[in-house]
A and B are shown apart, each in its own frame.
Chain A
Amino acid sequence: MISMPTVARRGLLPILLLSAFMPLAILMLVSVGRDWFFPALLPGTIDLTGWRTVLGSGARLRPALIASGVLAVATGVAAMVFGAFAGSAIASARGWRRVVGAGAAFLPVAAPPVAVATGLHATLLGAGLGSSIVGVFIAHLVPACGYTTLYFLGVFTVREGGFEDAARTLGAGVLDVIRRVTIPMMRRELLEAVLLGAIVSWGQVALTLVAGGGRVRTLPLEVMDYLMAGQDQLAATGSLLLAIPPLIAFGVLRLALRNVEMVLP
C-alpha cells in the first residue's frame, strides 16, 4: 500500500513541473506559431517573424532589453550591499529594535507595488528625478532592498560571527575582515542576493511606469504594450525574453557555486 506522503510526492511533483514549464512551452509555441486555433494542439504554421521583429536591427525591444538589464544589475548589486549591512544590523539588534528593523524591511515587500510607486512618485519628482532612469533605479531599490534585507536577516540570524572574531584577534582590521573573511566566505549568499535584487527589478511594471513616467522603457513595459495592442506573438516573444535571462542567471549561479556550501561553524 502506498502511504499518503508517497502519493503526494508522486502526484504533486508533476503538477509543479507542469505549472512551471507549461506556460513557457505555450509562450514558445505562440512566439513561433501562426494560425493556431482551438482545438488544434499545435500552431498551423511556424514562422520567426516575432523574433525578427523584437530582436532585429532597429527593433524597439533592444533598448528596452538593455535598459532592463542595466537596471537589474545595478539594482541587484546595490540591493545586495544595502541588504547585507541592514540584515546584519537587524540580526544583531535585540528587543524592539529588531522588531522595528524587520518590520521596516518587510514593509516594501508586503506593500502592493502601485502603493509604493505612488508614494515614491512625489518624492522623485521633487528631487528632479521624475521620468529618469535614475528615478526608476531608486524606485526599484525600494522593494529589492526589502527582499535582500529579509534574506540577509535570515542568513545572519543563523550565522555565527565567530570567524570574524577569530580574524580580528589574529590581527585583521574591520576592512581586512570584510575583504579576506566575510566576502570570500559568503560569496554564495552575496551572489544569490544580487540575483534576488536583479529579479525584483527585472519584472517591475508599476514602479517603472510611475517613476519613469512612460519615458523610461523597459522590457516588461514593452510586453505590456504588445499585450494591450493584441499582438500576441510579439507579446509571447517579449515574455520569453523576460523569462529566459533569470533562468539562465539562476542556472549559471547554481553551476558556479555547486561546490560552495553555506558556511556554518
Chain B
Amino acid sequence: MTEALSLDAIAVNFGTMPGLADVTLTIANGERVVLLAPSGAGKTTLLRAIAGLEPVLSGCVSIGGRPVTNDPPESRGAVYLHQTPMLFPHLDVAANVAFPMRLRRVERDVTARRVAELLASVHMSELAGRKPGSLSGGQRHRVALARAMAAGPRMLLLDEPLASLDPGLRQEVRQVLARTQLDGTGMLIATHDLDDAVLLADRVAVLLGGRIAQVAPAAVLFRTPATLRVAAFLGIPNRINGRMERGVFHSALGQVPVRDTAPDGKTAAVFAADAVTVARSGERATVFGEVIEVHSHLRHPSIIVRCGTVALEALAPRPVPVPGTTVGLVIESSVIHLLPGGDDA
C-alpha cells in the first residue's frame, strides 16, 4: 500500500538562509500527523515545500507514491491551508467549495452534489449563498476545509489552523478537524501547541533544529522522548542527571528505582509531573523534600519540591501543601525514561 506522503531527506532553505536539512517522514493514507515545533523552527516552510510553494534543495517528496519534487503546486495532489482561511472574497461559500472542481471542469450537477455533501459535512449547508466576509472565523475554517476536500487531495497540509483563534473557536475547529472523514487522504497539521498535538494526532512528528527529532504517537512521545532536547520542548519538567552502573541508576537523589534500561555511563532520567505524587501516610516515599512553590494550573495544580540539589515537579495533593512543608514523594518507576548521555544528549 502506498503512503500518502513520503519525505526522503529533503532540505529547504529559509529564504536565503540554511533551514531544514535531512527531513524524513512518512504519512500513511488516512493518517493524521501533527508536525510539532517551536515558532520559527520551519513548520510553515516544510508545509509549503511539500505543497510546491517553496523550492526543495535536495531529497525527494512523494505524494501518493508519486515523486513530485519538481512538480508545480497544482499537480502535486496536496492542498495547503494557510493559518488564515484564504476564502476567495469574490465568491460565495458554495462557489468557493466548487472552485477546485470548476478548475477540473467537473460536470455542473456532479459539482453541485459534491458541494452539497461537503457543506453538509461541515454543517455549512444553510450558509452556501453567503460571502466569506459575513462568516465567523470558525465558519471560514470549516468552508476552507470543505474546499480543500473538494480538490480530492492525497495530502492535506494545515498550517497552524488553530492559532489566533479564541478558545471557543479553537474547540469548534479542533472538532471539525478531528471528525473530518479522510477517506485515504493523509493530513499533516503544523502546530506549536502540545494540546492540539495530543488531541488531533495519530502520530506526532517533532521538528527541532531543522530535522525531525522524533515521530511517535502522542502518548509514547510524552513518555519516552528521544532526546533531552525533545523532552525540554515537550515541557517534561522532571530531569535527574546521574549514571547507570550495572543496570542501576545512581543520582543526586541516591539510587532511584527505574524499570527502563540504558547502557552504563552518564544518563539522565526524565519523567512527567504526574509520575510524581506525594506519599500518603503509610506509603513508602522514594525521596523527601521541601515544597518551594505551588503552580496553580486550572485543572491540575502542581508543587515544586526541592530534594537536595534537585527540584521535582509533582501533582499537588488536596489540600495543597504550603511552601516550606516537608513532603515525601513517590516516583512511579515504570514511567521514568532514561536517556543515555545525560547533559549533552
Residues of A within 8 A of B (CB): 94, 162-163, 165-173, 176, 180-181, 184-185, 263, 265
Evaluate contact between A162 and B151: CB separation under 8 angstroms.
Answer: no
Evaluate contact between A166 and B86: CB separation under 8 angstroms.
Answer: yes
Evaluate contact between B53 and A169: CB separation under 8 angstroms.
Answer: yes
Evaluate contact between B86 and A169: CB separation under 8 angstroms.
Answer: no
Bound-state Cα–Cα, A163 to B80, Å? 11
Which residue, B52, B73, B81, has most C-beta atoms of chain A within 10 A? B73
Shortest Cβ distance from residue A256 to the other chain B in the assembled complex, whole angstroms: 14
Evaluate contact between A265 and B90: CB separation under 8 angstroms.
Answer: no
Our pick among B48, B78, B103, B157 for the contact of A172 (Cβ within 8 Å) is B103
Evaluate contact between B74 and A171: CB separation under 8 angstroms.
Answer: yes
Number of B residues with CB within 8 Å of any CB on chain A: 29
Evaluate contact between A169 and B76: CB separation under 8 angstroms.
Answer: yes
- Contacting residues, chain A, for B10 (C-beta < 8 A): none
Bound-state Cα–Cα, A262 to B249, Å? 65
Q: A162-B82, A181-B88 are in contact. Are A168 and B72 (CB under 8 A)?
A: yes
Evaluate contact between B74 and A165: CB separation under 8 angstroms.
Answer: no
Evaluate contact between A184 and B90: CB separation under 8 angstroms.
Answer: yes
> What are 29 A-to-B residue pairs whose CB atoms are below 8 Å?
A162-B86, A163-B86, A165-B48, A165-B73, A165-B80, A165-B86, A166-B82, A168-B51, A168-B53, A168-B73, A169-B51, A169-B53, A169-B73, A169-B74, A169-B78, A169-B80, A170-B74, A170-B99, A170-B147, A170-B151, A171-B74, A172-B74, A176-B103, A180-B99, A180-B103, A181-B88, A184-B90, A185-B90, A265-B82
Is B89 part of the contact surface with A, judged by Cβ < 8 Å?
yes
Shortest Cβ distance from residue A203 to the other chain B in the assembled complex, whole angstroms: 33
Whose C-beta in chain A lies nearest to the C-beta of B78? A169
Evaluate contact between A162 and B84: CB separation under 8 angstroms.
Answer: yes
Whose C-beta in chain B lies nearest to the C-beta of A95? B16
- Contacting residues, chain A, for B90 (C-beta < 8 A): 184-185
Shortest Cβ distance from residue A52 to the other chain B in the assembled complex, whole angstroms: 47
- Contacting residues, chain B, for A176 (C-beta < 8 A): 74, 103
> How many A-B contacts if CB must be within 8 Å?
69
Evaluate contact between B103 and A170: CB separation under 8 angstroms.
Answer: yes
Is B148 part of the contact surface with A, judged by Cβ < 8 Å?
yes
Whose C-beta in chain B lies nearest to the C-beta of A187? B90
Our pick among A163, A171, A185 for the contact of B103 (Cβ within 8 Å) is A171
Bound-state Cα–Cα, A162 to B80, Å? 10
- Contacting residues, chain A, for B80 (C-beta < 8 A): 165-166, 169
- Contacting residues, chain B, for A165 (C-beta < 8 A): 48, 51, 53, 73, 80, 82, 86
Other A-B contacts than A169-B73, A171-B75, 17 sampled, CB-CB below 8 A, are A162-B82, A165-B53, A165-B73, A165-B80, A165-B82, A168-B52, A168-B72, A169-B51, A169-B52, A169-B76, A170-B147, A171-B100, A173-B74, A176-B74, A176-B103, A184-B90, A265-B82
Residues of B within 8 A of A (CB): 15, 48, 51-53, 72-76, 78-82, 84, 86, 88-90, 99-100, 102-104, 147-148, 151, 157
Which residue, B15, B48, B100, B103, has most C-beta atoms of chain A within 10 A? B103
Interface of B is mostly: mixed
Whose C-beta in chain A lies nearest to the C-beta of B89? A263
Whose C-beta in chain A lies nearest to the C-beta of B50? A169
Q: A165-B80, A169-B78 are in contact. Are A185 and B72 (CB under 8 A)?
A: no
Bound-state Cα–Cα, A171 to B79, Å? 8
Shortest Cβ distance from residue B187 to the other chain A in the assembled complex, whole angstroms: 14
- Contacting residues, chain A, for B53 (C-beta < 8 A): 165, 168-169
Q: A169-B52, A169-B53, A170-B151 are in contact. Are A163 and B76 (CB under 8 A)?
A: no
Bound-state Cα–Cα, A165 to B81, Å? 9
- Contacting residues, chain B, for A172 (C-beta < 8 A): 74, 103
Shortest Cβ distance from residue B153 to the other chain A in the assembled complex, whole angstroms: 8
Evaluate contact between A169 and B88: CB separation under 8 angstroms.
Answer: no
Shortest Cβ distance from residue A97 to the other chain B in the assembled complex, whole angstroms: 12
Bound-state Cα–Cα, A205 to B48, Å? 50
Q: A185-B88, A185-B89 are in contact. Are A170 and B82 (CB under 8 A)?
A: no
The 4 closest A-B pairs by CB, nearest first: A168-B73, A166-B86, A169-B80, A170-B100
- Contacting residues, chain B, for A265 (C-beta < 8 A): 82, 84, 86
- Contacting residues, chain B, for A168 (C-beta < 8 A): 51-53, 72-74
Bound-state Cα–Cα, A165 to B52, Å? 10
Bound-state Cα–Cα, A113 to B76, Å? 50
Bound-state Cα–Cα, A89 to B89, Å? 24
Bound-state Cα–Cα, A265 to B82, Å? 10
Bound-state Cα–Cα, A170 to B53, Å? 12
- Contacting residues, chain B, for A184 (C-beta < 8 A): 88, 90
Q: A165-B53, A265-B84 are in contact. Are A170 and B89 (CB under 8 A)?
A: no
Evaluate contact between A171 and B78: CB separation under 8 angstroms.
Answer: no
Bound-state Cα–Cα, A170 to B143, Å? 14
Shortest Cβ distance from residue A174 to the other chain B in the assembled complex, whole angstroms: 8
Shortest Cβ distance from residue A99 to the other chain B in the assembled complex, whole angstroms: 17
- Contacting residues, chain A, for B15 (C-beta < 8 A): 94
Our pick among B79, B84, B89, B104 for the contact of A169 (Cβ within 8 Å) is B79
